[in-house]
Amino acid sequence: MPFQVDTVYVWVTALDEAVGWYKQFGIEPGPRFGAWQTMLLDGETHFALHEGHRAEGPSTGAVAFRVDDLDHEIERLARLEIRPVDKEVTDTGVARFITFQDVDGNDVQLLER
Protein backbone atom coordinates (compact mmCIF):
# COMPACT_ATOMS: atom_id res chain seq x y z
CA MET A 1 0.00 0.00 0.00
CA PRO A 2 1.47 3.38 -0.94
CA PHE A 3 1.53 5.98 1.82
CA GLN A 4 0.89 9.71 1.58
CA VAL A 5 1.88 12.30 4.14
CA ASP A 6 -1.30 13.59 5.76
CA THR A 7 -0.14 15.70 8.71
CA VAL A 8 3.21 16.98 9.89
CA TYR A 9 3.26 18.41 13.40
CA VAL A 10 5.84 19.82 15.72
CA TRP A 11 5.86 19.96 19.51
CA VAL A 12 5.81 23.40 21.06
CA THR A 13 5.93 24.47 24.69
CA ALA A 14 3.71 27.58 24.41
CA LEU A 15 1.08 27.35 21.70
CA ASP A 16 0.21 31.06 21.48
CA GLU A 17 3.88 32.08 21.25
CA ALA A 18 4.52 29.45 18.57
CA VAL A 19 1.45 30.53 16.59
CA GLY A 20 2.74 34.11 16.68
CA TRP A 21 6.15 33.01 15.35
CA TYR A 22 4.63 30.96 12.51
CA LYS A 23 2.28 33.85 11.63
CA GLN A 24 5.30 36.14 11.34
CA PHE A 25 7.02 33.42 9.30
CA GLY A 26 4.05 33.58 6.91
CA ILE A 27 1.72 30.71 7.89
CA GLU A 28 -1.74 31.60 9.17
CA PRO A 29 -3.46 29.60 11.91
CA GLY A 30 -6.57 27.56 11.26
CA PRO A 31 -8.92 25.95 13.77
CA ARG A 32 -7.61 25.04 17.23
CA PHE A 33 -8.55 21.80 18.93
CA GLY A 34 -7.38 21.83 22.54
CA ALA A 35 -3.60 21.42 22.50
CA TRP A 36 -3.56 21.18 18.67
CA GLN A 37 -3.33 24.22 16.42
CA THR A 38 -3.83 23.62 12.73
CA MET A 39 -1.97 25.92 10.38
CA LEU A 40 -3.19 26.78 6.89
CA LEU A 41 -1.18 25.55 3.92
CA ASP A 42 -1.98 25.23 0.25
CA GLY A 43 -2.10 21.56 -0.70
CA GLU A 44 -3.11 18.19 0.67
CA THR A 45 -0.56 17.91 3.48
CA HIS A 46 -1.59 19.38 6.83
CA PHE A 47 0.67 21.14 9.30
CA ALA A 48 -0.10 21.52 12.99
CA LEU A 49 1.46 22.62 16.25
CA HIS A 50 1.00 20.44 19.34
CA GLU A 51 1.52 21.97 22.78
CA GLY A 52 3.13 19.72 25.32
CA HIS A 53 6.36 18.40 26.70
CA ARG A 54 8.92 16.91 24.33
CA ALA A 55 12.30 15.43 25.02
CA GLU A 56 14.99 18.01 25.66
CA GLY A 57 17.73 18.44 23.13
CA PRO A 58 18.06 19.34 19.48
CA SER A 59 15.25 18.95 17.01
CA THR A 60 14.96 15.40 15.69
CA GLY A 61 13.48 16.39 12.36
CA ALA A 62 12.67 19.31 10.12
CA VAL A 63 9.63 20.49 8.24
CA ALA A 64 10.39 21.96 4.82
CA PHE A 65 7.93 24.40 3.24
CA ARG A 66 8.19 24.80 -0.52
CA VAL A 67 8.36 28.39 -1.81
CA ASP A 68 8.52 29.86 -5.29
CA ASP A 69 11.28 32.40 -4.57
CA LEU A 70 13.66 31.45 -1.76
CA ASP A 71 15.72 34.65 -1.94
CA HIS A 72 12.59 36.79 -1.63
CA GLU A 73 11.43 34.84 1.44
CA ILE A 74 14.84 35.10 3.11
CA GLU A 75 14.79 38.88 2.58
CA ARG A 76 11.18 39.16 3.85
CA LEU A 77 12.01 37.21 7.01
CA ALA A 78 15.20 39.22 7.59
CA ARG A 79 13.07 42.40 7.65
CA LEU A 80 11.06 40.71 10.44
CA GLU A 81 14.34 39.85 12.21
CA ILE A 82 13.84 36.11 11.61
CA ARG A 83 17.30 34.90 10.67
CA PRO A 84 18.32 31.48 9.36
CA VAL A 85 20.60 29.25 11.39
CA ASP A 86 22.43 28.19 8.22
CA LYS A 87 25.23 30.49 7.13
CA GLU A 88 24.18 30.15 3.49
CA VAL A 89 21.66 28.53 1.19
CA THR A 90 22.33 24.88 0.39
CA ASP A 91 22.00 24.06 -3.32
CA THR A 92 21.73 20.34 -4.10
CA GLY A 93 21.26 20.86 -7.83
CA VAL A 94 17.66 19.66 -7.40
CA ALA A 95 16.56 22.11 -4.73
CA ARG A 96 17.83 25.10 -2.76
CA PHE A 97 17.00 25.37 0.94
CA ILE A 98 17.84 27.15 4.16
CA THR A 99 17.03 26.32 7.78
CA PHE A 100 15.46 28.47 10.49
CA GLN A 101 14.47 27.50 14.03
CA ASP A 102 11.15 28.29 15.65
CA VAL A 103 10.81 29.47 19.26
CA ASP A 104 11.14 25.87 20.51
CA GLY A 105 14.24 25.04 18.44
CA ASN A 106 12.38 23.00 15.82
CA ASP A 107 14.08 23.11 12.42
CA VAL A 108 11.94 24.86 9.80
CA GLN A 109 13.25 24.92 6.25
CA LEU A 110 12.25 26.89 3.20
CA LEU A 111 12.88 24.99 -0.01
CA GLU A 112 12.80 26.07 -3.64
CA ARG A 113 12.75 23.46 -6.40
**Yes or no: is domain 7-53+62-112 CATH 3.10.180.10?**
yes
Q: Where are the domains of the chain?
A: 7-53+62-112
d(CA 18, CA 41): 16
Beta strand pairing status for 62-66 and 7-12? unpaired
Nearest CA to 108 out of 84, 90, 89, 87 is that of: 84
Residues constituting the chain: 113
Please report, for residues 17, 72, 111, 113, the alpha-carbon distance to residue 67 in angstroms, rounded to integers and kept in the order given. 24, 9, 6, 8
This prediction's pTM: 0.84
Residue 3 pLDDT grade (very low, low, confident, very high; cuts 50, 70, 90): low
pLDDT digits (tens, 9 = 90+) for 39-93: 999 888 889 999 987 767 666 678 999 999 999 999 999 999 999 999 999 999 9
